[in-house]
A and B are shown apart, each in its own frame.
Chain A
């Protein structure tokens, strides 16, 4: 009986492909837009996730994100080190600077100063060169997306000379990092050198990165640090969330993407609802005949459900694979560097598809269930 329903569905090719297209299109729209939305706002947390080893970030009380920070005096490092439960603590500097390239262009960069001795604060991987290059004088490491912004035509940045705050800087490595929200060029260097590269203010240290001792939860450690030092301490995940929240609060991105996702949903409902009810209406005679030979309403519900299920499966599958192809296709583009599909997003679009199909199926079924067996003769 279900097989009859499937045949009935695929019998009308135009409507069948129309249905599949509707579902696929709204799945694609919802999944792809949600993916880009999530990745875009997670750019606000990229500064935190680029540091792979810090459990806890300590900052001035008024600092909000990795980029919106207020520097502390250098003795704050010793205060943090004095807190029991802190396994280690290192200084971390993040500040903006202007750089003049060898061909005279001016470019805003963010300078990140990592601990001199341990290099804690560098991204996990290097795209070119090794982290040891920071031991040579005046060397900096550039991030890979920044390379494409600063050097056109695939020119290699290694060995390029820059001018930062009247000081010489030589690029000697490329880091594999997730770009920040503004995709600003990022230069990594040692903390002591970063002090020279960034125009001076009285206090320079933006953050203290700390590791928790074994058996101490980062959340408990943040509390201990805040109590003993009076500074603000956040765990890695909390601070990443702070970065995301900052972007949500300060940009129109959530609204924009929310509207697009809603449009996807509405388009899905409109196309699928219209086509499905047309399809059902065209087949009212067949349903009437089925009723006439004694098929129960329950069976008919099952038939419609299986039709909707097939359309949903095909449409959803094509929509998701479309998103995957999109992300995969653009993965080499610097704008989409580090983009990924969060596993929750396909589930959300699955729920949306299910909702669309339930809603339209219910609309269409109302007619069928009311159909008299005599309808077959009309």
Chain B
């Protein structure tokens, strides 16, 4: 124990020192070990009402971006294989521009077929006309012969039998002419029918090409050349081509029916896309849908049954180079009619 002073007493001096040191260490341990329960700001910006709306009456809603024409699912008039696809997603098309073509081989052969029938009918007409001309000349020859015989007064000069033969020839020639005329009109009718068939085949050919119903942007192309399209598609199956007018874009905001009476219709809304709350824009009011509908799930859950009904409000987005895209979810804040909450006004009414 050379390290310690001579009269060092462990119990009197050592232990108290140990105890005090222990207490100091304990105090430090306790102080540093206290849990960190400080509130902190969220790392990423959540959507928030800004500007005048920040501390005034407002209604919030979630919505989706849609084309101002709403999304058009382009269908096909004819079933068949896709042979030609003329557009890509993102293309801007004008009204009437071809989008895709279904297989036209059968229709083209029908065009050719009915074209041949037209030629055939034309030939038959010519044939009938030639027959008419031949019958006419035979008829006139027979007529002249008969007239000649009739002018002869001497009964002995011309035998009775000769006259009868000439009369017969004349009437046979007349009948041949009538028959040929009937054939001509039949051939003409065949021609008209064949021409009509050509016309209908041409129309089919036109129907095989699907054209843009409006000017707008192609949003989705779900078909590829070689795929078979059925006209009965629709309902729950995927649409072939989706398009819509994306200049400008609209948003459809769902507002809970309980909050719906508070919405100040006509006022612009503050809108931000999911995940980019700091990129807020002001959207101008377009209209409120006349019907209150069951809330469509925006949560990707397949089998959500909801009895919550919502008022759908349509707002027009300003030009926003790519911040908003069709189908994107947005958070919106809309000014409320007056500063009163439903509860507050109820309480006031009770008074």
Contacts and interface: CB of A to CB of B under 8 A. Distances in A.
Contact of B12 (A10, A81, A342): A10
A56 to B, nearest CB: 11
Contacts of B59: 78, 82
A330 interface: no
A195 B47 CA distance: 21
Interface string B2-20: 0000000101100110111
B39 A75 contact: no
A71 to B, nearest CB: 12
B306 A73 contact: yes
Interface string B277-312: 100000000000000000101111101111110100
Given A118-B45, A195-B300, A320 B22 contact: yes
A327 B32 CA distance: 13
A116 B258 contact: no
- Taking chain B's interface residues, is the majority helix, strand, or loop, or is none over half, making it mixed? loop
A165 B210 CA distance: 44
Contacts of A13: 11
Nearest to A80: B60
Contact of B258 (A7, A79, A328): A79
B295 A211 contact: no
A328 B308 contact: no
A341 B31 CA distance: 9
Interface residues of A, number: 66
A78 B255 contact: yes
A124 B38 CA distance: 10
A75 B59 CA distance: 11
A118 B46 contact: yes
Nearest to A16: B11
B350 interface: no
B30 A78 contact: no
Contacts of B341: 83, 227-228
Interface in B260-288: 262, 274-275, 277
A261 B249 CA distance: 69
B273 to A, nearest CB: 9
B23 to A, nearest CB: 5
A314 B15 contact: yes
Given A85-B55, A314-B15, A192 B300 contact: yes
A94 to B, nearest CB: 16
A99 to B, nearest CB: 19
Contact of A340 (B16, B35, B274): B35
A78 B256 contact: yes
Given A116-B275, A317-B19, A88 B343 contact: no
Interface of B: 9, 11-12, 15-16, 18-20, 22-23, 25-26, 29-31, 33-49, 54-62, 254-256, 258-259, 262, 274-275, 277, 295, 297-301, 303-308, 310, 331, 333, 336, 341-344
Given A74-B308, A204-B299, 10 more contacts: A75-B258, A83-B341, A84-B58, A117-B47, A118-B45, A120-B44, A211-B42, A323-B26, A328-B29, A341-B30
Interface of A: 6-7, 10, 13, 16, 20, 49, 52-53, 55, 73-75, 77-85, 87-90, 115-120, 124, 178, 191-192, 195-196, 200, 202, 204, 211, 213, 227-228, 230, 236, 310, 313-318, 320-321, 323-324, 327-328, 338, 340-343, 346
